[in-house]
A and B are shown apart, each in its own frame.
Chain A
Amino acid sequence: MEPGQDPHKPELPRPTVWPIGFAIGVACLLVGLVVRSWPAVGIGGAIAVVFGFLWVRDLTAGARHEPEAAPAPAEAQPPAAPGEPARFPRSKLLEASTLGLGAVIGGVVTVPPLFVALIPPFLKQSRDEVDLGPVEAYPEGEFVVTTFLERPEHGEVSRRTAFVRYNGLLEGEPSFTIISNRCVHLGCPTQPNGPLFDERQETVKTKNGQQVTLIPSQPAGFGCPCHGGAYDTEGNRTAGPPVRAMDRYEFAIRNGRLLLGDAYSVSQVDGAGANAKIHKYKIADPGNHVDGWEQIFYPIQPQP
């Protein structure tokens, strides 16, 4: 639309380059203030004043003089085909390059954050062995409800409970059964079905300053309060919705102290005590079958 055609159209000032110089002057002044350079402040202030004056003069030109004649109309555009606007190879190239560049920029700014959100959960999160106290703290043939911090650096959120039983010696080596208290249905904490001897509760100090709580118990099995899963003293499922036997922990004994290793999953346990045959699998989420035909639903466990 040509200027002056529409009486309602507000009169716009002409384009001008003076604000650029004004901005440079102000920037110079501010930088001068920051670095305490008084010459820079002076020069910047002078530039800002001069260009500001020229800018204001330009803006008020319309009020002081009659507006200049409209500039000559731009060169005639090549005539467009009727109906369809004309398309030139250049416009197609511009369209393709805009979309392509946009896609590249979008990918660069979205894919790395996505990786940051999705990859770390699948990396090996190794932890130190957890000291569960001296071997003598665990009487033979009796379960001890052992509560400890699995990762002290994570604080209370890493508090775990295991049911630990000393099975006596097997071929001269101490044998332990260490069952995780997490139900393998959906991960609620199971409880020992039997008396807890609170009056015999012991607190063991470990070398790194942590406290491990030991409460002896005589369970006939373990039960889950959430959905009624039930297990025997070897962790085999006896009733309810769990799909396998309870998870267990590897262990080591060093300098007479019981050390807790990594957790693993168990499909079932044959026999009992030191001579039990444990069908061991890589640790799996609760509710995931590790054996039987249903294991085809969980071909790969993400835990490394």
Chain B
Amino acid sequence: MPKSARRQQIEKAALYPLDWLEERSGLIGGVKYFLFRKVPGDTNWFHTLGSATLTAFLVQLITGVILAMYYKPDPDKAYESIQHITNDVTLGWLLRGMHRWGASVFIILMFFHMARVFLFGAYKYPRELNWIVGVLLLITGMFEGFTGYLLPWDQTSYWATVVGININGTAPILGPWISNVLRGGAEIGPETLARFYSIHMLVLPGAIMGLIGLHLYLVIRLGVSSPPWSKEAAGVEWIEDEPEPGPARQGLVQPGPRGTGSA
């Protein structure tokens, strides 16, 4: 049924902002390219662990931003401000709980994702660099946990950080220097809490966001790998409208469309 002129007019008006954006940025096409890219037909639930980790990180990001509105990184006020968040702020207990438990969820999901990539052999050529980026993400994520643990400023967090910094301090040659930089001096003092806070909420999240961008770029560029039991022979069938790989990308594992895999 041909669309009426009025309907066409309405559609055109509704789509105008999107067309405007697309003409000036190409963003719509980019998002489509990202969301509707081809993946192997036999991916399974294990392939969602990376997205789950990303979601956990986004939860940390959002809850952390809101916690930062109430938290005071001052040795005399930090503990009280945490009590204030937990007991007085509307739903503050939920927010703090999400950030606190979400931190563990983030780390655990990272390890599950890592195990999936390892057991599926998805770290092999040409995805070695993405494994390396993932390891850097794991390290920055663990360091987020270390710096965040001090912020409640109670006895547990204080002494755990004393021990943690001194473990760093026993590294050969550079250890004492590393622990001095972490403490902001020879002893844990008023500077240490602000230093950890700054690292926890500015330095490391920035590094993690950059590394996640690189991680996703490589995932999109290289495609998702098939599971090891896949019937689709990786790298044999090429999507028809895809150009042949250049010499630098020969042997790249590229998924075929569903059902065309050569058995």
B83 in the interface, Cβ–Cβ < 8 Å? no
Which of A154, A186, A285 has a CB less than 8 Å from the CB of B190? A154
Question: Is A297 part of the contact surface with B, judged by Cβ < 8 Å?
Answer: yes
Q: State the 8 A-B residue pairs at the shortest beta-carbon distance, nearest first.
A: A287-B170, A285-B169, A297-B172, A186-B166, A186-B163, A157-B75, A187-B166, A121-B180
**A288–B163 CB distance below 8 A:** no
A120 near B: Cβ within 8 Å?
Answer: yes
Instruction: Find chain B residues with CB under 8 A from A154 CB.
Output: 75, 189-190
B181 at the interface (CB under 8 A from A): yes
A-B contact pairs, 22 of them (CB 8 A): A121-B185, A121-B186, A154-B75, A154-B190, A156-B75, A157-B188, A157-B190, A157-B193, A186-B170, A188-B159, A188-B163, A284-B176, A285-B175, A286-B170, A287-B166, A288-B175, A288-B176, A297-B172, A297-B173, A298-B175, A302-B177, A302-B180
Find residues 256-304 in chain A having any chain B CB closer than 8 Å to their own CB: 283-288, 297-303
Give the docked Cα–Cα distance between A222 and B256 (Å).
69
Are A122 and B180 neighbours in the complex by a CB distance under 8 Å? yes
- A residues less than 8 Å from B176 (CB atoms): 284-285, 288, 298, 300-303
Q: Are B184 and A157 in contact (CB under 8 A)?
A: no
Interface contact A158-B170, CB-CB below 8 Å:
no
Interface membership of B76, Cβ < 8 A: yes
Interface residues of B in 149-178 (CB under 8 A from A): 159, 162-163, 165-167, 169-170, 172-173, 175-177
How long is the Cα–Cα vector from A287 to B169 in the complex, in angstroms?
Answer: 7
A297 to B170, CA, bound (A): 9
A/B pair count, beta carbons within 8 Å: 82
Known contacts A121-B184, A156-B76; 18 additional CB pairs below 8 A are A120-B191, A121-B181, A125-B185, A156-B75, A186-B166, A189-B159, A283-B186, A284-B176, A285-B166, A288-B169, A288-B175, A297-B175, A298-B172, A298-B173, A299-B173, A302-B176, A302-B177, A303-B176
Q: Which residue of A lies closest to B171 (CB)?
A: A297
Q: Does B183 contact A (CB under 8 A)?
A: yes
Chain A residues positioned under 8 Å from B170 (CB to CB): 186, 285-288
How far is it, in angstroms, between the C-alpha of A155 and the C-alpha of B184 when the chains are bound? 17
Q: Given the known inter-chain contacts A287-B167, A288-B169, A298-B176, please indicate yes or no for A120 contacting B184, CB distance below 8 A.
A: yes
How many Å lie between the Cα of A158 and that of B192 in the bound state? 12
Which of A186, A283, A297, A301 meets B162, CB within 8 Å?
Answer: A186
Q: Tell me the bound Cα distance from A299 to B188 in angstroms.
A: 23
Q: Inside 8 A of A186's CB, which chain B residues have their CB?
A: 162-163, 166-167, 170
A118 at the binding interface (Cβ < 8 Å): yes
Please tell me if B179 contacts chain A, counting CB pairs below 8 Å.
yes
Neighbouring A residues of B188 by C-beta, 8 Å: 157
Residue of B nearest to A283 (CB): B186
Distance in angstroms from B101 CB to nearest chain A CB is 25
Q: Complex: how many Å from CA A187 to CA B163? A: 6
Mark out the residues of chain A between 205 and 257 whose CB falls within 8 Å of any chain B CB in the assembled complex.
226
Q: Which of B76, B175, B181, B193 contacts A118 (CB 8 A)?
A: B181
Q: How far is the CB of B157 from chain A (nearest CB, A)?
A: 13
Closest Cβ neighbor of B198 among chain A residues: A117
- Most A CB within 10 A of own CB, among B75, B162, B183: B162
Q: Residue-by-residue, is A103-128 near B (CB-CB < 8 Å gives 1, otherwise 0)?
A: 00000000000000110111001000
**Minimum CB–CB distance for A256 against chain B, Å:** 29
Nearest Cβ on chain B to A185's Cβ, whole angstroms: 8
Bound together, the chains give a CA A188 to CA B167 distance in angstroms of 12
Complexed CA–CA distance, A86 and B181 (Å): 51
Q: Which of A189, A226, A286 lies in contact with B169, CB distance below 8 A?
A: A286
What is the CB-to-nearest-CB distance from A67 to chain B, in angstroms, rounded to a whole number? 22
Contacts of B193 in A (CB 8 A): 157
Residues of chain A contacted by B189 (CB below 8 angstroms): 151, 154, 157-158
Give Cα distance in the complex from A155 to B185, angstroms. 16
Q: In the complex, which residue of chain B has the Cβ closest to the Cβ of A122?
A: B180
- Bound state CA distance, A114 and B186, in angstroms? 19
CB <8 Å contact, B185 and A120: yes
A155 close to B75 (CB less than 8 A): yes
Chain A residues with Cβ under 8 A from B186's Cβ? 121, 125, 283, 303
- Inter-chain contacts of B162 with A (CB < 8 A): 186-188
Rounded to whole Å, the gap between the CB of B195 and the closest CB of chain A is 8
Residues on B with beta carbons closer than 8 Å to the beta carbon of A118: 181
**Which chain B residues lie closer than 8 Å to A284 at the CB level?**
176
In the docked arrangement, what's the CA distance between A157 and B184, Å? 14
With contact pairs A125-B185, A187-B166 given, residues A285 and B75 touching in the complex (Cβ less than 8 Å): no
What separation, in Å, do the CA atoms of A237 and B169 have in the docked complex? 20
Complex: A58 Cα to B172 Cα, angstroms: 72
Neighbouring B residues of A297 by C-beta, 8 Å: 172-173, 175
**Does B163 lie within 8 Å of A226, measured CB to CB?**
yes
Q: Which of A120, A157, A297 counts the most B-chain CB atoms under 10 A from its CB?
A: A157
Q: When chains A and B are docked, how far (Å) is the Cα of A298 from the Cα of B124?
A: 39
Give the distance in Å from the alpha carbon of A297 to the alpha carbon of B173 in the complex. Answer: 5
Q: How far is the CB of A2 from the nearest CB of chain B, in Å?
A: 19
Q: What is the chain B residue whose CB lies nearest that of A289?
A: B170
- Docked Cα-Cα span, A105 to B181, in Å, equals 26
Task: Give complex CA distance A297, B169 in Å.
Answer: 11
